[in-house]
Amino acid sequence: METTRIKYTPAVIARAKKIKLVLTDVDGVLTDSSMNFFTTPEGKTVEIKKFSAYDGIAFHMLRDFGIRTGIITGGNAPATAHRAHSLGMDFLYYNFLSKNPPLEDILQKTGLKAQQVAYVGDDLIDIPVLLRAGLACAVKNAREEVRQICHYTTAAASGQGVFREVAELILRAQGFWGEVLVKARAGEIGLSRKETPLLVDFKTWGPQKCRCRK
C-alpha cells in the first residue's frame, strides 16, 4: 500500500488538522463489502469478516497520538466486536442503520464538535454523518452519491487499507508523521494504553431514542 505519493489539497489538510476522533463504517470500508457465512457443527450460523492488517496498525497509530476511534455500523458480527476490542477502539455502535443518533451520542459523551470528527463511509446510509463530519472521506469505490459530498476520496478500495490511508492523512496534516516513523524504528507503535470500547446496540438503546434525537 502506497500513500506517500498522494497529494492532499490545502482544504483537506486544513480539515484534517482539526480531527480528534475518526469514525468509520465496517462493510465496504474496513472490509471489501462481501458477506461470508458458515454453519458450525452445532447449527449456528456465523459471519466471517476479512480485515486489513494495514488498517489495524492505523488504529494503533491514531491512539498513540491521542486521536480517538470508533465504528458505527448497521451490522452486528461478533468479529467486528472482537476487532474493536483488540485494537482498543473507543466506540462501537452496531445495528444502527440510522447513523446520526450514534454520532450525536458520541459528540455529547466526548464534548467534541462535528468539525473535529472524521468519518469514512461508502454507501447511502453513511450520507447523514458524512454531511456533518469535519472531514468526510469516501472509499474509492463508494457510491457516486457518497463521493460527491465528501471532502476526500481514498486511492484505496474497500478492504484494502482505506482506514490506514485516512489515518496517515490526518497524522501527516497534524505534523505527527515524523514521530510515527521514530516510533516505528523503536518498535513502539501501539504501546499506548488501549481503551475498552463503549458498546452500544441499537436493539437495547432503542428506536424511540433514535426518533427523538436530531
Q: Which is more confidently placed, 204 or 38?
A: 204
The Cα 72–Cα 210 span in angstroms is: 14
Cα-flanking dihedrals φ and ψ of residue 175, to 5°? 80, 20
Domains of the chain, start order? 10-212 (3.40.50.1000)
Average pLDDT score over residue span 191-198 = 91
How much of the chain, in percent, has pLDDT values that exceed 70? 93
Cα-flanking dihedrals φ and ψ of residue 6, to 5°? -70, 135
Q: Cβ(100)–Cβ(119) under 8 Å?
A: no
- Three-state secondary structure call for residue 72: strand
91 forms beta bridges with 70, 198
Closest to 138 in 3D by CA, of 126, 121, 125, 123: 121
Using the predicted structure, report yes or no on whether residue 42 has a pLDDT greater than 90: no
- What does the pLDDT read at residue 3? 52
CA angle 50, 52, 55 (to 5 degrees): 135
Buried b (16+ CB within 10 A) or exposed e, 11-32: ebeebbebbbbbbbbbbbbbbe
Using the predicted structure, report yes or no on whether residue 23 has a pLDDT greater than 60: yes
